[in-house]
Amino acid sequence: MYRARVTDQCVCYKVMEGDIARGLKIETKGFEVCSEITAKVCRRGYAIWEVPIYYEPRTVEQGKKINAIDALRALVTLFLSI
């Protein structure tokens, strides 16, 4: 969509220069913030580099809070950020 290869935008730390971060003007408040950051960074022409990590996902019982509605919100955010 933004000509970027991102395997999992929500499993990471976002590291960028302060002036770039301040210029993003984040509007979302939920899990869709990852999509908003990805879209706005890509739209401004910055490259996204991923560093491989290993993690074990949590279960709902262990505190996992993201669900299908969050995925839908993330997709809507990606499309609205065009």
Give 16-68 pLDDT, tens digit per residue. Answer: 899 999 999 898 888 788 888 888 998 899 988 888 877 777 777 776 777 78
The one-letter code for the residue type at 64 is K
In terms of C-beta density within 10 A (0-12 exposed, 13-18 middle, 19 or more buried), how is residue 2 classed? middle
- How many domains does the chain contain in total? 1
In order of 4, 21, 49, 51, 52, the CA distances from 68 in angstroms are: 23, 28, 26, 26, 25
Domain that holds residue 45: 18-80
**pTM for the full model?**
0.65
Q: Across all residues in the chain, what is the average pLDDT?
A: 81
Q: Does the residue 1 lie in any domain?
A: no
Q: Does the residue 70 lie in any domain?
A: yes
Q: Predicted confidence band at 80 (pLDDT cuts at 50, 70, 90)?
A: confident
Q: Does the residue 38 lie in any domain?
A: yes
Q: Does the residue 2 lie in any domain?
A: no
Q: Which positions ≥6 away from 17 have C-beta within 8 Å?
A: none
